[in-house]
């Protein structure tokens, strides 16, 4: 089958389209004929090589994908050949205490399709049946693929970790990215007021369309936490949804009200954010980590997409053969939302 692979860690030149063996499935897996793939910053890190990541090469990346079931394992129930489906990339053991308690993302063996094992950047992909969700006929493969990882991640951040309430103020850092555009929409749909940070006029306008009542260009307003403090009547925001990390960390904490919560799911700018411990205990702040989601959260997050309450923002759609261009575009930061690849 045709696949986009890396045979070693490195720059764009290590990506190539080649023929690899079609996966064989176990009794509890399904084989998906992949139709659409959405890229994440994670794909860049996997290609470059994370410090602790150990891969067997060649490696097929991509955690977000959707397609049609082409083969079903013997023990699989309620899924059939021909079903249109989207994938939850988080793989857990299904046996440990955390998994049996419904907290699959806390599993000691938790890992991701596309990062630790082969993902969806190929004509076919093998996936545990427990990680599959059928998609309605009115939802395109492109929409489904572009929604999965971002929707489930943001849902856990806002609903489970931060326990967002109507009327609260949510600050979204990195507003123009896949997580950011999804967070602005989801917070708005859940009744919260939204402030977003971004870097260009075009992104500012789009974020307002998505429901942000205040959008701040952090390149023009370097002291944006003071702007937020003034805008909120010297109160601060209730929740910060952060995926950027180091460059925004200190000001993000200062933006919080007393008793506020910062939820982080990533650190695209680096892991060395400065934390003023005095600020944390004096303002009684909560700093919460969040990774992926539970099975229940995955289904609830995607139901918001399927019902039309939120829609992924798609920057561009390219064929799989242009994966180098897609990586380069994502790496540049000049994107609004998701970059999607399709397989004809």
Are the CB atoms for 123 and 260 separated by under 8 Å?
A: no
Question: 297 is written with which tokens?
Answer: 């959260």
Rounded Cα gap, residues 232 and 60, in angstroms: 46
pLDDT at 51: 77
Residues paired with 222 in a beta bridge? none
Rounded Cα gap, residues 8 and 30, in angstroms: 28
Nearest to 338 by CA among 141, 71, 205, 196: 141
pLDDT at 76: 95
- In b/e form, how buried is each residue of 34-62, taking b as 16+ CB within 10 angstroms? bbbbbbbbbbbbbbeeeeeeebeebbbbb
- In b/e form, how buried is each residue of 222-246, taking b as 16+ CB within 10 angstroms? eebbeebbebbeeebbbbbbbbbbe
pLDDT at 50: 79
Nearest to 183 by CA among 164, 205, 199: 164
Rounded Cα gap, residues 34 and 27, in angstroms: 20
Residues paired with 240 in a beta bridge? 171, 262
| pLDDT < 70: residue spans in the chain | none
Domains, the chain? 2-134+313-342 (3.90.180.10), 152-289 (3.40.50.720)
Nearest to 238 by CA among 276, 273, 187: 187
**Three-state SS for 308?**
coil
Rounded Cα gap, residues 160 and 154, in angstroms: 10
Q: What distance lies between CA 324 and its chain's CA centroid?
A: 20
What's the N-to-C CA distance of the chain in angstroms?
13
Nearest to 298 by CA among 103, 107, 163, 82: 103
pTM: 0.95
Question: 282 is written with which tokens?
Answer: 């004096």
Are the CB atoms for 268 and 247 separated by under 8 Å?
A: no
pLDDT at 268: 83
pLDDT at 270: 84
**Three-state SS for 11?**
coil
Secondary element (H or E) of residue 184:
helix 178-189
Question: Taking the CB of residue 316, how many other CB atoms lie within 10 A of it?
Answer: 16
Are the CB atoms for 166 and 186 separated by under 8 Å?
A: no
């Amino acid at each position: 089958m045709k696949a986009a692979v890396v045979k070693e860690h490195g720059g764009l030149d290590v990506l190539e389209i080649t023929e690899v063996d079609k996966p064989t499935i176990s009794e509890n897996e399904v084989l998906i004929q992949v139709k659409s793939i959405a890229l994440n910053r994670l794909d860049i890190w996997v290609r470059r090589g994370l410090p602790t990541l150990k891969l067997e090469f060649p490696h097929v990346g991509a955690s977000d994908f959707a397609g049609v079931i082409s083969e079903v394992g013997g023990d699989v129930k309620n899924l059939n050949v021909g079903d249109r489906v989207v994938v939850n990339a988080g793989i857990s053991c299904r046996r440990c205490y955390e998994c049996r308690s419904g907290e699959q993302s806390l599993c000691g063996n938790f890992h991701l399709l596309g990062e630790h094992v082969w993902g969806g950047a190929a004509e076919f992909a093998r996936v545990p049946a427990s990680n599959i969700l059928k998609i309605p006929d009115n939802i395109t493969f492109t929409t489904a693929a572009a929604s999965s990882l971002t929707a489930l991640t943001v849902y856990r951040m806002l609903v489970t970790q931060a326990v967002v309430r109507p009327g609260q103020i949510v600050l979204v850092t990195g507003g123009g990215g896949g997580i950011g555009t999804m967070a602005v929409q989801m917070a708005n749909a859940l009744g919260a007021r939204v402030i977003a940070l971004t870097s260009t006029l075009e992104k500012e306008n789009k974020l307002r369309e998505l429901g942000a009542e205040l959008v701040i260009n952090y390149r023009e307003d370097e002291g944006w936490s003071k702007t937020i403090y003034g805008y909120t009547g010297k109160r601060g925001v209730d929740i910060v949804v952060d995926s950027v990390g180091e460059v925004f960390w200190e000001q993000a904490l200062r933006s919080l009200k007393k008793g506020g919560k910062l939820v982080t799911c990533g650190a695209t700018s680096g892991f060395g954010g400065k934390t003023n411990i005095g600020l944390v205990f004096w303002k009684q702040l909560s700093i919460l980590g969040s990774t992926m989601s539970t099975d229940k959260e995955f289904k609830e997050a995607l139901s918001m997409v399927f019902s039309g309450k939120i829609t992924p923002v798609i920057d561009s759609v390219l064929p799989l053969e242009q994966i180098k261009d897609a990586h380069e575009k994502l790496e540049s930061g000049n994107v609004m939302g998701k970059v999607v690849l399709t397989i004809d």
